[in-house]
Amino acid sequence: MLGVEALLEVGQLLELDCQGLCRLLLVPRSADGRGGVSPRQVGRVTGADSQLLHHLRHQTTRRGGPGGGPADRATPCQTRPVPNDSAPRIGFIGSGVIAWAHGIALSGLMKDGLVEAELGLVHDRDPNRSRGFAEHLGFEEAASAEEVAAGCDVVYVCTSTAGHLEAARVAARHRRAVFCEKPLGRSLAEAAALVEVVGEAGVPAQVGLVLRTAPVFRALGRLVESGELGRPMAATMRDDQFFPIQGHYGSTWRKERDEAGSGTLLEHAIHDLDAARNWFGPIRSVAATSANFAGHEEIEDAATGILTFEGGLSVAMVSVWHSVLSRPSTRRVEVIFEHGFASFENDFTGPITIQTSAATTTERCDPPAFVERLSLPEGLGIGALPYVEENKDFLDTLAAGQPPSPSLVDGLRAHEAVDAWYRSAAAGGVPVAGPF
C-alpha cells in the first residue's frame, strides 16, 4: 500500500507535478466505494498464425513510418529451470507510467491472494526510475535486462516502443514468459520480428491490449454477438487525449520518431482497431488520412479513416492528440444496428446506453467484484484498476498452461491494420484492401 510520502516520491521519480500525479494515481472513489475507472507449460504459434508470420517476414518497410529488416531468428538456449513447486517470479524491463499501472495491479492481486506469484527484478535505462519502482512496489533493482530475464520466470516489457524487440529477445533467450505492452514495434516488420523471436522460443506471451478486458467494451461485444439488435450497420469510434509528452506521462519519447515509430494511430488507436476487429471481424479495407499539427517529425497527431467489414458494415474512426490538458484520454463509440442504437464514452465502466423502438436504457458495466475490492490505498482508487483483470488473466493462463489472450499474433494483426492505414494515408486516402 502506497502512503502519501511514497506517492509524492513517485511523482518526483516520474517528474510529475501534483496535477499529473493525481491524474495518474489518485482517482476518487464514488460514494458506493467503487473505483473511477505455469510459464513452464508453453505453446507455439501455429496454423493460420504461422501463415500470417510467413507473409509478414517478407515485409521490410512500413510506408509513412520507419521500416525494419527481415525478422530476426532466435537462437535457442537453455537456462536454469524453475522448480515445479515455486510461484513464478515477475520481472520488469522498463519502469515508466505503464509499468507502474501493471506493478500496482500485480501487487494488489498478490496481496489479496488472487494470484500466486512473487515480485522479482526491475531494470530501466534510467536508474532513478527503476530505483523508485523497486523501493515502492517491492521489487529488486537489476543492473541489466539480462539480469531480469535470468532471475525471473515472467518478463513484462514496458520500455519505450524502440526497446520492445530487444527486451523480448532477451526474455526469449532465457525461455521466459512474456507480457509485452503495445505497440509491439515501431513498424509492422519490427512487430513481426518480435512475434517470430518469441514464437520460436516457444514461450507463452500476451500483448497489452487492455481494452479487451474493459467491461464496457465486452458489453458491446456481447451485444453484437447476440444479434438481439440485428446486424450492425454503421459505427463511429473516436479516441482523443492530450499529446502524451506532458501531464502524468513524465516523459517525452512519444514525440521522437526513433523511439515511438509514429504517432497517435500506432500508440493509441491501435487499441481501437483491435476492438473493432474483435467485435466485427477482419477489416476488409481501409481508406484513411493522417495529419501533423504539432510539428514533431513523422509523428501524426490526427488520423481519420473508414474501415469496411464483411456484410457492408462501415466504421468511421478518428484518433487525435491535442493540447486540451483536461482531456487525458477519452473515447466515444456509437453503433447503429438494424433495430437499435448503442453508445458509450467512458472506456472502462461506461455506462452503455441502448436505444430501441420500445425503450432507452443506460447501464453501468461493472468489472468483476475482485477488481473493485482490490487492496488499494484507503479511500482512493488507483489508475491501475483497468489493468487488474488483464494481469490476473495473464497469470491465470500461465498457471493453467493455457495460451494467453490476446496473443502476440493478435497484436500483430492490429499492426497490420495500422500499416494499411498508413499506406492509404500516404497514397492520399486510396483504399487499401485486406483482410487485416
Q: Tell me if the domain spanning 212-367+415-433 has CATH number 3.90.1150.10.
A: no
Cα dihedral 74, 76, 82, 88 in deg (nearest 10): 10
Q: Which of 256, 210, 199, 242 is nearest to 50 (CA)?
A: 199
**Where does the pLDDT of residue 79 fall: very low under 50, low under 70, confident under 90, or very high at 90 and above?**
very low
Task: Provide the residue ranges of all domains of the chain, joining segments of one domain with +.
Answer: 4-209+390-407, 212-367+415-433
Query: Domain 4-209+390-407: what homologous superfamily?
Result: NAD(P)-binding Rossmann-like Domain (3.40.50.720)
**Where does the pLDDT of residue 58 fall: very low under 50, low under 70, confident under 90, or very high at 90 and above?**
very low
- Whether 101 and 384 have beta carbons less than 8 Å apart is answered as yes
pLDDT in tens, 158-200: 999 999 999 999 999 999 999 999 999 999 999 999 999 999 9
Q: Which of 294, 386, 436, 405 is nearest to 36 (CA)?
A: 386
Q: Please state the rounded mean pLDDT for residues 131-152.
A: 96
Predicted model pTM: 0.83
- Strand spans (E) along 292-359: 302-309, 314-322, 330-337, 340-344, 352-355
Q: Which of 211, 223, 215 is nearest to 335 (CA)?
A: 223
Q: Which of 307, 266, 313, 308 is nearest to 411 (CA)?
A: 266
Average pLDDT, the chain: 84
Q: What distances in angstroms separate CA 196 from CA 85, 149, 306, 400, one per listed residue?
A: 30, 18, 30, 24
**Where does the pLDDT of residue 250 fall: very low under 50, low under 70, confident under 90, or very high at 90 and above?**
confident
For residue 327, the SS3 value is coil
- Whether 264 and 412 have beta carbons less than 8 Å apart is answered as no
Q: What percent of the chain has pLDDT over 90?
A: 73
- Res. 29: pLDDT tops 80: no
- Res. 294: pLDDT tops 70: yes
Q: Please give the pLDDT value at position 85.
A: 58
The cell for 323 is 493540447
**Where does the pLDDT of residue 209 fall: very low under 50, low under 70, confident under 90, or very high at 90 and above?**
very high
Cα dihedral 364, 367, 369, 374 in deg (nearest 10): -120
**Where does the pLDDT of residue 247 fall: very low under 50, low under 70, confident under 90, or very high at 90 and above?**
confident
Q: Please give the pLDDT value at position 47.
A: 36
- Res. 28: pLDDT tops 50: no
**Where does the pLDDT of residue 264 fall: very low under 50, low under 70, confident under 90, or very high at 90 and above?**
very high
**Where does the pLDDT of residue 328 fall: very low under 50, low under 70, confident under 90, or very high at 90 and above?**
confident
Question: How many residues comprise the chain?
Answer: 436
Burial letters 257-280, b for 16+ CB under 10 A, else e: bebbbbbbbbbbbbbbbbbbbbbb
